[in-house]
Chain A
Amino acid sequence: GQQLNQSPQSMFIQEGEDVSMNCTSSSIFNTWLWYKQDPGEGPVLLIALYKAGELTSNGRLTAQFGITRKDSFLNISASIPSDVGIYFCAGQLNSGYSTLTFGKGTMLLVSP
């Protein structure tokens, strides 16, 4: 089956630093999604990408859909303490009833 490799597994950074995380897949996806999960809550959608090569921003967050359709990255600029959480990538095929395949997540810790 499809697998997503998400890296790094965890990051510990200083407030104000930029952060980059990525996902790679053994097969192609037609949609890439990035979610953030805060402790005790469900994942919340941050950015959705629908076209290969697409670069999309949401405030301090920027994500790109890789040209090969097998990878995606998420950048966070000027990190702040509330960026702390677990970030998940998810890939989706657009054929019929297609489901999400999730990465294992990147835990981000930000030191004030």
Chain B
Amino acid sequence: DAGVIQSPRHEVTEMGQEVTLRCKPISGHNSLFWYRQTMMRGLELLIYFNNNVPIDDSGMPEDRFSAKMPNASFSTLKIQPSEPRDSAVYFCASSPRGGAGQPQHFGDGTRLSIL
């Protein structure tokens, strides 16, 4: 079975550029989560969707970050304009349904470096 698929695996770009991260959740999973991982702050939840609808985006750092889920099999996380402090590993995770003890399954992440 295919797991959560993220692309690209690595992204290096200059500050001010737009960055788009992509995620394909596990087929049949109704909930999708975007996380950011840094050494200082660990794993932080940015936003999550249930049935393609954003449920909680309180973790999104600022207006430069936006996320969409146009259908059940695809989501994007966009940063515009990007800044060096956005450098981190961004993970997407999915679960069969939100909450209720449903474990989340993670992709392998996108390592983002903003120069």
CB distance from A105 to the nearest CB of B (A): 6
Find the A residue at minimum CB distance from B93. Answer: A42
Q: Are A93 and B42 in contact (CB under 8 A)?
A: no
The CA-CA distance from A31 to B103 in the complex, in Å, is 9
Query: Given A102-B43, A105-B42, A94–B109 Cβ distance below 8 Å?
Result: no
- Please tell me if A62 contacts chain B, counting CB pairs below 8 Å: no
Q: Considering the complex, which residues of chain A in the window 35-77 have a beta carbon less than 8 Å from any beta carbon of chain B?
A: 35, 40-45, 48, 50
The CA-CA distance from A88 to B103 in the complex, in Å, is 13
Cβ–Cβ < 8 Å partners of A30 in chain B: 101
Q: Are B101 and A92 in contact (CB under 8 A)?
A: yes
Q: Are A94 and B100 in contact (CB under 8 A)?
A: yes
The CA-CA distance from A105 to B103 in the complex, in Å, is 18
- Please tell me if A82 contacts chain B, counting CB pairs below 8 Å: no
Cβ–Cβ < 8 Å partners of A48 in chain B: 101, 103
Q: Are B99 and A94 in contact (CB under 8 A)?
A: yes
Q: Are B50 and A42 in contact (CB under 8 A)?
A: no
Residue-by-residue, is B1-26 near A (CB-CB < 8 Å gives 1, otherwise 0)?
00010000000000000000000000
Main secondary structure of the interface of A (DSSP, over half): loop
Query: Given A97-B50, A102-B43, A105-B42, A41–B100 Cβ distance below 8 Å?
Result: no
CB distance from A40 to the nearest CB of B (A): 7
Total residues of chain B contacting the partner, CB 8 A: 23
- Please tell me if A112 contacts chain B, counting CB pairs below 8 Å: no
The CA-CA distance from A10 to B33 in the complex, in Å, is 27
Residue-by-residue, is A88-104 near B (CB-CB < 8 Å gives 1, otherwise 0)?
10001111111110111
Q: Are B42 and A104 in contact (CB under 8 A)?
A: yes
Given contacts A42-B4, A97-B31, A104-B42, 10 further A-B contacts (CB under 8 A): A43-B106, A44-B106, A48-B101, A95-B99, A97-B56, A98-B98, A98-B100, A99-B45, A100-B45, A100-B104
A-B CB proximity, top 7 nearest: A42-B106, A98-B99, A97-B98, A102-B43, A31-B101, A104-B42, A97-B99
